[in-house]
Amino acid sequence: MKKDVVKLLSTFFYVGNFPLAPGTLASAVGVLIYMILHQHLFMYVLVFAVITYFGFKTSGRMEKVMKKKDPGCVVVDEVSGVMIAFFLLPLSWATVFTGFFLFRAFDMFKIYPSNVIEKKGGAYGIMMDDIVAGIYTNCVMQIAVRWAGII
Domain range for 96: 3-147
The pLDDT of residue 1 is 78
Residue 68: the pLDDT is: 86
pLDDT of residue 147: 82
Distance CA 51, CA 45 (A): 10
In tens digits, the chain (151 residues) has pLDDT values of 798 999 999 999 999 999 999 999 999 999 999 999 999 999 999 999 999 999 999 999 999 988 888 889 999 999 999 999 999 999 999 999 999 999 999 999 999 998 898 888 899 999 999 999 999 999 999 999 988 777 6
Q: Residue 90: what pLDDT? A: 95
pTM for the predicted model, two decimal places: 0.94
Cα–Cα distance list, 79 to 5, 65, 88, 115 (Å): 17, 21, 16, 19
Tally of structural domains, the chain: 1
Q: Give 102's contacts (C-beta < 8 A, 6+ positions apart).
A: 85, 137, 140, 141
C-beta neighbour count of 23 within 10 angstroms: 22
